[in-house]
Amino acid sequence: LTAWQHLDYTIKSGKSSFGYVFGKSFFDYINDHPTKLNNYHKAMYEYARDDYKQLPELVDFGKHESIMDVGGGYGAAISVIKNKYPHTNCILFDLEKVVAGAADTVEKIQGNFFESIPNGSDALILSRILHDWNNDCALQILQNCNNALPKEGSLYIIENCHENTTADLSLLSLNMALMCESFERSETEYIELCQNAGFSFDSSKQLNQLQTILIFKKQ
Supply the residues annotated as catalytic.
131
CA distances from 53 to 81, 136, 194 (A): 9, 31, 25
Q: Which amino acid is at 187?
A: E
- The burial of 60, by beta-carbon neighbours within 10 Å (0-12 exposed, 13-18 middle, 19 or more buried), is given as exposed
Terminal Cα distance for the chain, rounded: 43
